[in-house]
Amino acid sequence: MLSFLTFLPILAAIPAARLLYAIPLIVVVSLVYAATRHERWAPILEHAWDTALWIIGFMAVVFVVLMAVTWWF
């Protein structure tokens, strides 16, 4: 386990690998947000899936806008 923890800063130095940190954040935020709305697992998972898609879509739109701005200037 200790060797994996020493590898994390190297992984963070790779620009594309930084996007991997978004996956657990999206999952956790979606599950917590859905769990505040529902009490049963089926609606929680369904709402979490919808929320995750909204977050990913928003991130994609921001990415496209930033790419367009950097390409334009």
Q: What is the pLDDT along the chain (73 residues), one digit of tens a residue?
A: 556 667 666 666 677 777 888 999 999 999 999 999 999 999 999 999 999 999 999 999 999 999 999 988 7
Q: Annotate 46-73 with DSSP letters as a single string.
A: HHHHHHHHHHHHHHHHHHHHHHHHHHH-
- Domain definitions of the chain by residue range: 21-72
Crossing angle for the helix pair 41-72 and 22-35, nearest 10 degrees?
140
pLDDT confidence of residue 5: 65
pLDDT confidence of residue 69: 94
Joined together, the tokens standing for residue 67 give 């790419």
Using CB atoms within 10 A of its CB, is residue 20 exposed (0-12), middle (13-18) or buried (19+)? exposed
Q: Tell me if the pTM is above 0.85.
A: no
